């Protein structure tokens, strides 16, 4: 059983009973300006704001951790008040979420980096940038927090660019990609537009080794590669790699969109040829601004070699949760499963 959890966007300063639509880009704070709206931010969260610590605590207490064999945590830790982002805020939110994972999970945790884990948001610099603009502080922090996670031979690649691979068991490997290096909104992708940090070359080499070792592979990342999010050259080469190793890759897992999605990938050379698929987990944060997104997480049931047997999605009805009396705790029931 794999627990897939993504886009927590923890708001350490969330205040209930505050106007969630205050006229500013982000509200639910004790210092938010007041513009009448209905309803007030609830004790468990608001559809217009990010995850309160109380909701995060409830989520981790609810999950059946005894049944979890592996955790995919696909990034994004800070709230959407991006104009107030700071290194200190990112590291604080990351530490809190990490403390929960270490407290509850007795299984390996696979970490990938979200765009809301750098300042300014999404600006991940390539390894050769070593001045004050470098985002290496993110990689160093994650290694410090998860020192036991990374195999010794993967420390260098993660510390320089945030990608790595782990052999879970014989015949099954996870490859973590830093898809912030494909993002159009990452200004550094225009500095090295084709293959920032040599990640695609590395990915191709890892998949080739996996194929020769008869291993099946999960690719795990934050931003799901597509024409809207990624630069054209990067996406073109990524799809070529995915097609070449389509018999080795048995699953791709992403977050970022906050939505419950399934992406189908097609060949660059034949628009009718399916070469893979991406499973995008819904977010823990209810934040969207227009749609009412209920907080959610996923359980992915796999065989020993990584092939997917079933996917279960669990969610919390936020509107209903906010009607509960103080002291009552909401539930996260099964919303649906594939089978």
Q: What residues contact 332, with CB distance under 8 A and at least 6 apart?
A: 59, 62, 63, 295, 296, 297, 314, 315, 316
* Residue 32, pLDDT score: 58
Judge residue 322's burial from the number of C-beta atoms within 10 Å of its C-beta, 0-12 exposed, 13-18 middle, 19 or more buried: middle
Length of the chain: 339
Kindly give the parts of the chain with pLDDT less than 70.
Answer: 19, 23, 25, 31-40, 289
Contacts of 171 (CB under 8 A, 6+ apart): 214, 215, 216, 304, 305, 306
CB 56 within 8 A of CB 8: yes
Question: Which helix (H) or strand (E) is 55 found in, with range?
Answer: helix 53-62
What pLDDT score does 147 carry? 81
Report pLDDT for 304. Answer: 87
Tokens of 197: 């940090």
Strands 216-220 and 249-254: parallel
pLDDT, residue 199, reads: 97
Three-state DSSP class for residue 287: coil
pTM of the full structure:
0.94
pLDDT digits (tens, 9 = 90+) for 83-123: 888 999 999 999 999 999 999 999 999 999 999 999 999 99
HSE of 31 in the Cβ direction (CA atoms, 13 Å)? Answer: 1
Give me the DSSP letters along 298-310.
EEEEE-TTS-EEE
Residue 65 tokens read as: 């951790």
Q: Which of 145, 135, 64 is nearest to 97 (CA)?
A: 145
Positive or negative, the CA dihedral 180, 182, 184, 187 is: positive
Exposed / middle / buried, residue 106 (Cβ in 10 Å: 0-12, 13-18, 19+): exposed
pLDDT value of position 63: 97
How many C-beta atoms lie closer than 10 Å to residue 287's C-beta? 23
CB 50 within 8 A of CB 10: yes
Check residue 209 and give its pLDDT. 98
For the chain, give every domain's residue range.
1-107+287-339, 147-280
- Pick among 3.60.21.10, 2.30.40.10, 1.10.3430.10, 1.10.3720.10: CATH of 147-280: 3.60.21.10
Residues 6+ apart with CB under 8 A from 36: 19
- Radius of gyration of the chain measured on its C-alpha atoms: 20
Per-residue model confidence (pLDDT) at position 181: 97
| pLDDT score, position 320 | 95
């Amino acid at each position: 059983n794999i627990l897939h959890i993504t886009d927590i966007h923890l708001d350490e300063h969330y205040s209930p009973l505050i106007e969630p639509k205050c006229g500013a880009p982000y509200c639910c704070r004790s210092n938010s300006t007041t513009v009448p709206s209905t309803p007030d931010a609830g004790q468990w969260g608001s559809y217009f704001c990010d995850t309160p610590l109380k909701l995060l605590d409830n989520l981790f207490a609810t999950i059946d951790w005894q049944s979890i064999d592996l955790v995919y945590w696909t990034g994004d830790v800070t709230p959407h008040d991006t104009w107030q982002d700071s290194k200190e805020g990112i590291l604080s939110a990351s530490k809190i979420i990490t403390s929960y994972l270490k407290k509850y999970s007795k299984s390996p945790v696979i970490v990938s980096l979200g765009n809301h884990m750098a300042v300014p948001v999404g600006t991940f610099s390539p390894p050769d940038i070593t001045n004050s603009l470098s985002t290496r502080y993110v990689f160093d922090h994650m290694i410090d927090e998860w020192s036991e996670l990374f195999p010794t031979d993967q420390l260098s690649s993660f510390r320089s660019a945030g990608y790595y691979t782990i052999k879970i068991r014989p015949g099954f490997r996870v490859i973590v990609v830093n898809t912030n290096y494909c993002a159009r909104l990452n200004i550094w992708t225009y500095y090295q537009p084709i293959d920032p940090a040599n990640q695609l070359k590395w990915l191709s080499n890892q998949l080739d080794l996996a194929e020769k070792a008869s291993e099946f592979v999960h690719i795990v990342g934050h931003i799901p590669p597509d024409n809207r999010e990624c630069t054209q050259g990067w996406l073109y080469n990524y799809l070529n790699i995915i097609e070449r190793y389509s018999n080795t890759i048995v699953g791709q897992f992403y977050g970022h969109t906050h939505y419950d999605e399934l992406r189908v990938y097609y060949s660059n050379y034949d628009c009718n040829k399916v070469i893979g698929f991406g499973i995008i987990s819904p977010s823990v944060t209810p934040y969207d601004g227009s749609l009412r997104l209920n907080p959610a997480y996923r359980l992915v049931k796999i065989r020993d070699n990584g092939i997917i047997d079933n996917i279960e999605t669990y969610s919390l009805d936020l509107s209903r949760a906010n009607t509960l009396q103080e002291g009552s705790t909401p539930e996260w029931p099964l919303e649906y499963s594939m089978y």
